[in-house]
């Protein structure tokens, strides 16, 4: 059943790459207004999964010692290194003349590496338990939706046609399946592999929320009402992760 749940989750996450078509179907102005709130929701979900599910589970299984804390920091370093070496960062706001993006090939390559890591994370999480796998998948999904819309916008901005942009985006998303298969095939044969991935994943989620997503939300304009709406959607993301504790 672990294989079924993992592969079903990564296939669903991969299909989210096709959500970019809504970038063309939806009203551009409304979409640009909505995306920052989706990002706020993703911040709450990522932070909630890290602090409510992954870190407590890691402390319980591995112990609340120095090694577990270092693995959390390692996750932050790994995600930081991936972005630096590929010279690519998550981008959730659609392209505009005031928002310059990397070239299409660089974006696809970086997205493929990111999706590969997502697959490993989801696979390793399901190896620990179904609840941890599910909450991690939900966190990834909520992060992927605004990201995939942004990625599609980058490819269109780079001059690709709609069909080719969807194909490239979907192709890079499918790399997540390879990561999941690798985690499921190798994980059971490596002592504490899946458990060690819990704090590493938590560190990665904290890095994404703090380094990539929060700065984007902070750059959005608006008065007290908009600020309150961002806080509320972030709290909703945390609340969702809290509610998922009930499946344990």
CA atoms of 76 and 32, how far apart (whole Å)? 29
Let me know how many helices (H) and strands (E) the chain has, helices first.
12, 0
How many domains is the chain built from? Answer: 1
Could you tell me which residues are beta bridge partners of residue 99?
96
26 is a domain residue: no
pTM: 0.77
Residue-wise pLDDT tens digits, 65-108: 889 999 999 999 988 887 776 655 445 555 444 443 445 666 67
Q: Would you state the pLDDT for residue 247?
A: 66
**Domain range for residue 203?**
2-17+38-247
120 is a domain residue: yes
The stretches in the chain having pLDDT less than 70 are: 23-28, 85-107, 150, 153-154, 157-158, 247-248
Q: Would you state the pLDDT for residue 91?
A: 53
Q: Would you state the pLDDT for residue 165?
A: 81
Q: Would you state the pLDDT for residue 100?
A: 37
24 is a domain residue: no
Q: Would you state the pLDDT for residue 1?
A: 86
User: Coil, strand or helix: which one is 124?
Assistant: helix
Q: Would you state the pLDDT for residue 61?
A: 87
237 is a domain residue: yes
């Amino acid at each position: 059943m672990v294989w079924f749940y993992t592969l079903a989750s990564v296939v669903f996450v991969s299909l989210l790459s096709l959500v970019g078509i809504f970038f063309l179907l939806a009203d551009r102005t409304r979409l640009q207004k909505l995306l920052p709130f989706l990002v706020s929701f993703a911040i709450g979900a990522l932070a909630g999964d890290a602090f409510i599910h992954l870190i407590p589970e890691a402390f319980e299984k591995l112990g609340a010692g120095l090694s577990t804390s270092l693995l959390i920091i390692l996750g932050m370093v790994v995600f930081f290194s991936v972005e630096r070496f590929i010279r690519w960062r998550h981008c959730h706001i659609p392209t505009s003349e005031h928002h310059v993006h990397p070239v299409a090939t660089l974006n696809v390559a970086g997205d493929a590496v990111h999706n590969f890591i997502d697959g490993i994370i989801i696979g390793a999480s399901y190896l620990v338990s179904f609840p941890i796998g599910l909450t991690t998948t939900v966190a990834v999904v909520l992060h992927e939706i605004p990201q995939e819309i942004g990625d599609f916008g980058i490819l269109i901005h780079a001059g690709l046609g709609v069909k080719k942009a969807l194909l490239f985006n979907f192709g890079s998303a499918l790399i997540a399946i390879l990561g999941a298969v690798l985690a499921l095939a190798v994980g059971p044969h490596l002592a504490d592999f899946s458990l060690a991935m819990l704090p590493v994943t938590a560190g990665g989620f904290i890095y994404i929320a703090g380094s990539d997503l929060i700065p984007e939300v902070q750059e959005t304009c608006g008065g007290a009402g908009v600020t309150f709406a961002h806080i509320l959607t972030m709290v909703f993301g945390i609340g969702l992760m809290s509610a998922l504790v009930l499946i344990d």
